[in-house]
Amino acid sequence: MNKYYMGIDIGSISTKGVIIDQNNNIIKSDYLLTEGDPIKAVKKLINNLKCDFKISGVGTTGSARELIGAMVNATVVKNEITAHAIGTLSIKPDVKTVLEIGGQDSKIILIENGIVIDYAMNTLCAAGTGSFLSSQASRLNVSVNDFGLIALKSKKPTKVAARCTVFAESDLVHKMQMGYQKEDIIAGLCHAVVINYLNNVGKGKKIKPPIVFQGGVSKNIGVVKAFEKELNENIYVDKNGHLTGALGVAILTKKQKEVSFDFNINDISFETKGIECIKCSNNCEIITILKEGKIIDSWGNKCDKGIKV
């Protein structure tokens, strides 16, 4: 009997899901916006992935992995670094560097002989992320989906300050007022994202080829070309690069015991509650998730006095 596995990658901006077979082929996938409500987003995701396959394992990764893991009774709950590394290796086994830029954060993963040897993440500055490009696209009155193609038309990219979002936006307005061509400004923004990434996330890291670029921003050909120019290397972008985290955590579930998974969760009530524990001086802020009013999981306690399910 064929076995199938589900992986869910839920972040602050987007929610991704895949169903894979025993050979790691993606049978079904979906990508949607989280919109500040991970529970609602995952319910919609699972409804979109609904199929007749028997799911033998479910894994979660991303910023809301604990919450969603409890919600779907996941057998594997893994951090983004592990999930992205496993997913990337399944697509390109010889990869040595993974560049990832998402909606609100970015990361770099260095791999040798199929093993992660170093990594770094940036969650403090938005100047090198997808949300930054989206906000600048609105300011320039163009679709962010057209950013890359417009950037390629530039003959002389405008230099845009990339130290942080505030400086970049201020400099952008200044360049617009001075009359720079829109394609030159957009090309400059793509280049600024790359410089910001390399100076922050990639600082001190030895970037070796083969290099894989993934995350939502990898769909922007302008940023891809800027990376190739700065690194003087070819950059590989897979068509499923935005699903790599979900793919990786789905693969990891294959080594776990089988679970019973039900696609019909739309009518089930899930909610989260924050509780301050007063049983000791730690005063831990504990997050609980309730299914139909009953606590099914909790996290955040630093000692055994906190809530236990």
Which SS3 state, helix, strand or coil, does residue 270 take? strand
pLDDT value at position 135?
78
> What is the number of other CB atoms lying within 10 angstroms of the CB of residue 93?
10
- Whether 93-237 and 4-86+246-255 are alike in CATH topology: the answer is yes
pLDDT, block means (10 residues), the chain with 309 residues: 92 91 95 90 95 92 91 93 95 96 87 95 68 80 84 87 69 81 89 88 93 90 94 95 94 88 83 82 82 79 68
pLDDT value at position 36?
86
pLDDT value at position 243?
93
Of 3.30.420.40, 3.90.1170.50, 1.25.60.10, 2.40.50.70, the CATH number of 93-237 is: 3.30.420.40
* Cα radius of gyration (the chain): 21
Omega into 210 within 30° of 0, i.e. cis? yes
pLDDT value at position 206?
94
Residue 18 host element (H or E): strand 14-20
- CATH, domain range 4-86+246-255: 3.30.420.40
Which residues does residue 101 pair with via DSSP β-bridges, in sequence order?
Answer: 106
pLDDT value at position 136?
81
- Hey, what are 263's tokens? 């696609």
DSSP 93: T
Q: What is the CA angle 52-32-49, rounded to 5?
A: 0
In the chain, where the domains are located: 4-86+246-255, 93-237, 270-299
Q: What is the CA angle 33-38-41, rounded to 5?
A: 50
pTM confidence score: 0.85
Cα–Cα distance for residue pair 118/161, rounded to 1 Å: 29
pLDDT value at position 47?
94
